[in-house]
Each structure stands twice: as C-alpha cells, then as structure tokens.
Structure 1
Amino acid sequence: MSRKIAGFLILLGVFMVFEWVNLGFNLQDGHPTSFYVVHGILIGVNLILAIVLGVIGWKGLRGARDR
C-alpha cells in the first residue's frame, strides 16, 4: 500500500470519528425512542469502521516505511 493511500485511510478514520461523535452530541430531545436506537446503531457501526480503517492505514504506513 502506498503512503498516500495509507495516509488517506487514517485521515478518513479520524474524520469519521469526529463526524459521528459530533452527530451524537447534536441529537435533539423530543424524538421517539426508535430514532435514538437507529442513530445509536449507526454511530456505533461507523465508529467501528473508522477504527478499522485507521488500523489498516496505520499498518500500511508502517509497512511502507519498512520497505
């Protein structure tokens, strides 16, 4: 994996964490419970994906440095 792609994956993971945590804090009261359940699941899944992308990018960056 090239350094550019690895850096992109790391930046994408950081952006996703920022975006979804920000959304979680900005949810307003007054919605039905199902709204919060669905958005909680979306936030959780996207945070997991962000962590996976960050780890792949980090390993790719370290692998590119070792070559």
Structure 2
Amino acid sequence: MTLSRRTALLLLAFGVWSWLLWPTFFRNIWISENSWQAGSPTPFLYVHFVIAAVSLVLGTAIGVLGWRALRATRG
C-alpha cells in the first residue's frame, strides 16, 4: 500500500502533536491535587498515566508510519 504525500505528512504531524501534547498533559496531572492523597498516588493518577502512555506509544507508531511513508514518496 502506498500513502499519498499529504497523508504521510498528516500522520507525521499527528505523531509530533502527540509528543507535544501528552507530556504537558501528564505534567499537569502529576501536580494536580487529585493525583495524590496522603503522599500516595490515586487511581486518578494511574488512569491518566496509562492514557498518556498509550497515547504516546500510538502517536509514536503513527508518526513512524508517516515518516516511512513520506520517505517512500521521495524515492
């Protein structure tokens, strides 16, 4: 399957966007008062950590696909 250059750029942009968005989101969750109770992490923190981690993994995979597709359109 060959992706168009436009689609490849969209996938690559999504991967970059994920790496700009999710680390900031996680930092904000980390400092939230809902994330800690008596010095221990709460389920709120665990759930949002998993969401951020999965989103970074998927964003990375999508970005890599976009990068490979973009390189393939140049050849």
Alignment TM-score, normalising by the size of structure 2: 0.81
Residue among 21, 24, 47 paired with 2:23:
21
User: Which contiguous aligned blocks of 4+ residues in structure 1 show a shift greater than 2 angstroms?
Assistant: 29-32
Alignment TM-score, normalising by the size of structure 1: 0.90
> Does the 8 Å contact 2:34/2:44 carry over to 1?
no
The count of corresponding residues between Structure 1 and Structure 2 is 66
Segments of structure 2 that go 5 or more residues without pairing to the other structure are: 37-41
Q: CA RMSD in A?
A: 1.2
Which one has more relative contact order, counting CA pairs under 8 Å at least 6 apart? 1
The one-letter amino acid of 2:9's match is G
2:50 paired with 1:49: no
- Return the structure number with greater helix share: 1
Segments of structure 1 that go 5 or more residues without pairing to the other structure are: none
Which structure would you say has the larger Rg? 2
